[in-house]
Amino acid sequence: MKAVVYDKKNSPDRLVFCDIDKPVPDENEVLIKIHAVSLNAADYRSIKMGMIPKRKIFGADIAGRIESAGKNIAFFKPGDEVLGDLGSYGFGGLAEYVTAPEKALIMKPGSVSFEEGAALPMAAMTALQALRDKALIKKGDRVLIVGCSGGVGTFALQLARYFEASATGVCSSGNVQQALSLGADHVIDYKKDDFTKMKERYNIILGINGNYPLLKYRKALAPGGTYVMVGGSLSQIFKSLTLGWILSSGSKKMTSLAAKAKQPDLEFLAKLLEKGIIKPVIDRRYTLEQAAEAMNYIKQGHSAGKVVINIS
């Protein structure tokens, strides 16, 4: 099969499009013919930190069709269309085929395309778990989404609207209209205005991108508010993990999220997608052979939504 394999000797991209053996599922796995895969920050950060999957194939968010199933597989059968997050199961999405346990997958709704299915898992689950589980979002909350134009941010705007909260997005000038179209009540163009110098205070702040000091995030919180770090540079993430608990004195909470793939969450999100309540924003599309180019693009941190690679 065709695949994009990590090779540290290959400079500068280290991602090589080549032929490798097609994987064989064991009795507890299914073999999936991949139709689409989307890239996430988890892919390029893993490369940067030297955390290379055993199969040396990146790509966690996949959508495709079951080709065969091991004897212990109870739910899926050949021909089923599925989507899933393989981030906890060795990645492997940048290939024509991948094996996975059934707990990594859900059935893809028939009205959802393979592209949409592949764009959903990691980004949407991160947004959901940050808002619902960490910040305990409720009707009427004032939510600030710093970095609202990427994969997580675009889903966070839509989910804030679903939970009947008031959402303010922070992004660049070119993404203001997109944020408004996704349900933002207000948008702050960070090139023109600085939310840390404004009087507005928020019940929830999601720090997805933007190099703002933690103390300024804390100042922008309303009493009883919660800041959740869900992305940003590695230095930002380190500071939040090491200093967040110190700054969580009084009624304001400074916390971070390490999102986990959960079938119930993915099924919940797939239903919202099927009903048209949320939708993935797809910024760019690439072929499998262009995976290195796609990875370089998302590393720049300026994608307006998801980057999808169509396999077939």
The pLDDT of residue 13 is 80
pLDDT value at position 211?
Answer: 77
The predicted-structure confidence for 255-285, as pLDDT tens digits, reads as follows: 889 889 999 999 999 999 999 999 999 999 9
Asked if 143 and 117 count as a contact pair (C-beta separation under 8 A), the reply is no
Per CATH, domain 2-120+280-310 is 3.30.1330.40: no
Q: How confident is the model at residue 236 (pLDDT cuts 50, 70, 90)?
A: low
pLDDT tens for 138-189 read 999 999 999 999 999 999 999 999 999 999 999 999 999 999 999 999 999 9
SS3 95: strand
Q: Which position has the higher pLDDT, 121 or 47? A: 121
Specify the 3-state DSSP secondary structure of 260. Answer: coil
Q: C-alpha angle 141/126/293, rounded to 5°?
A: 130
Instruction: Name the pairing type of β-strands 81-85 and 61-69.
Output: antiparallel
Containing 144, the helix (H) or strand (E) segment is: strand 142-146
Question: What's the CATH class of domain 122-256?
Answer: alpha beta
* Matching residue, tokens 């930002």: 236
User: Which 3 state secondary structure label does DSSP give 250?
Assistant: coil
Measured CA angle at 269 (ends 157, 265), to 5 deg = 110
Query: Does residue 44 carry a pLDDT above 80?
Result: yes
**Closest by CA position to 120, among listed 152, 87, 81:** 152
List pLDDT tens digits, range 277-293: 999 999 999 999 999 99
C-alpha span between 154 and 46 (Å, rounded)? 23
Cβ atoms of 231 and 259 closer than 8 Å: no
Using CA atoms, how far apart are residues 221 and 235, in angstroms rounded to an integer?
Answer: 22
The answer to whether residues 63 and 87 touch, using CB atoms and an 8 Å cutoff, is no
User: In the chain, which segments carry CATH 3.90.180.10?
Assistant: 2-120+280-310
Domain with CATH 3.40.50.720 in the chain: 122-256
**What pLDDT does residue 70 have?**
95
The tokens for 86 are: 């393989």
Is the predicted pLDDT of residue 108 greater than 80, yes or no? Answer: yes
CA 46 from centre of chain: 14
**202's tokens:** 């928020």
